[in-house]
Each structure stands twice: as C-alpha cells, then as structure tokens.
Amino acid sequence: MKKRSQSSGHRIKRLVVILLVAVLGYCLATAASILSFSEKDETRPADTAIVLGASVYDNSPSPVFRERISHAVDLYNDGYMRTIIMTGGVGEGNIRSEADIAREYAEQQGIPAESIYIEESSRVTDENLGNAKRIMSDHKMDTALIVSDPLHMKRAMLYAHDHEIKAYSSPTPTSLYQSWKTKLPFLAREVFYYTGYRFVRLFR
C-alpha cells in the first residue's frame, strides 16, 4: 500500500512538473511572438488612425501617450489618413478624459479639430477599439491604422480583428520602451493579458 501511495505521489509530481514546463514554454513562445510582431510595421493609406489611450498627468498626456499622439500627427501630415480617432476615458484622479487631452495636444500640433474624433468611455484596450469601431461605422470608415507602442501591437491587433476592424499595425517608432529594463515589465504584462484574452476568447 505504501509503495502504491509513493508511486501515485511520484506520478502527480511528474504531471505537475510537465504542466509547469508546458505553461513556461507557452509563455516563452508567446513572448517571442509578441517581440517578433513588435517589429512589424504595416503603415499604409487608411481611412483613419486609432490612437490607443494611455495615462495622462493633470491636463497633459504622459510621455508614452505623447509619443503615440505624435506618431498619429506625423501619419496625418504625411497623408496616410485624413482623420484620427483618439481613445481613452477618464482615469482615476483625473477630470478630463485621455481622448480629450489627446485631441487638445494634436490640435496644438496643427491637426484641424474637424479631423479628430474622440471616444471617452473606454478604460482598457479592448474597449478603446470597440468604441472606435462604432465611430468608424457611424462615419463610414472601413480601414484603420492602429497606433500604439510596439510591444502592445499584437494584442491590439487581435482585439481589432475581433471587433471586425480592417486594421494595419503602425507602431510608434519613438516608443519610450527601448531598454530591456523598461521592455521586460511591459512584455511580461502583455504576455499575461494576451494569454488571458486568448483563453477567455475560447468561450465567447
């Protein structure tokens, strides 16, 4: 009986080790996929650019958000699209929405007010894109450049696909996440959220 119990215990431990190795392998493969996708730039003419929201400080975009907005401004000035959709609701401790502050910043860079649409109710990336899709539908827009940091793009493009947006990846070339010290926490977060969404997606 004792030997049988020990044998059963060894099998359980072996299964646990195999499961942990499998999970680790999946996470490493996902991280490699996110890194690879971060280098993909599909920038081309489109109906609009969707700028994914990020933090704001008082009445100014955070440095990360500023680079996203600036990239959209450059795309607009280069003639890739004639409209920009700014996304992001009111964060904790703020009075104005991320989208409103982004609009103001873009206008200061010379973008006409009539070329900017905003959605102010989203709190996460999935909502950013779902609400942007509704704006696109209302204004008969078919294609969009998705603007965010390179490591964010794989998850963002998956959300865009699920919201039936014909989207193209246009990562910020001036992302502040340049060193591995700043990239690794961002990458770990993306692996977590991307993996979680892929799992939840199975039951939709």
The mean pLDDT values, 10 residues at a time, for the chain of 204 residues are: 60 81 87 96 98 92 96 98 97 90 97 97 95 97 97 97 98 85 92 93 83
Structurally, how many domains does the chain consist of? 1
**Which pLDDT value is given to residue 107?**
98
pTM of the model: 0.89
**Which pLDDT value is given to residue 171?**
97
Asked whether residue 160 is assigned to any structural domain, the reply reads yes
Full residue range of the structural domain in which residue 168 is found: 48-201
**Which pLDDT value is given to residue 126?**
96
The DSSP secondary structure of 115-163, one letter per residue, reads GEEEE----SHHHHHHHHHHHHHHTT--EEEEES-GGGHHHHHHHHHHT
Asked whether residue 146 is assigned to any structural domain, the reply reads yes
Asked whether residue 52 is assigned to any structural domain, the reply reads yes
The owner of tokens 């709190």 is 123
Asked whether residue 83 is assigned to any structural domain, the reply reads yes
CATH number assigned to the domain comprising residue 180: 3.40.50.620
Asked whether residue 108 is assigned to any structural domain, the reply reads yes
Could you give the CA distance from residue 101 to residue 192 in angstroms, rounded to a whole number? 29
**Which pLDDT value is given to residue 88?**
96
**Which pLDDT value is given to residue 153?**
97
**Which pLDDT value is given to residue 1?**
52
Q: How many residues does the chain have?
A: 204
Cβ count within 10 A of residue 96 = 14
**Which pLDDT value is given to residue 132?**
98
**Which pLDDT value is given to residue 203?**
85
Asked whether residue 192 is assigned to any structural domain, the reply reads yes
**Which pLDDT value is given to residue 5?**
57
**Which pLDDT value is given to residue 130?**
97
Asked whether residue 183 is assigned to any structural domain, the reply reads yes
Asked whether residue 39 is assigned to any structural domain, the reply reads no
**Which pLDDT value is given to residue 4?**
57
CA distances from 194 to 152, 178, 201 (A): 10, 21, 10
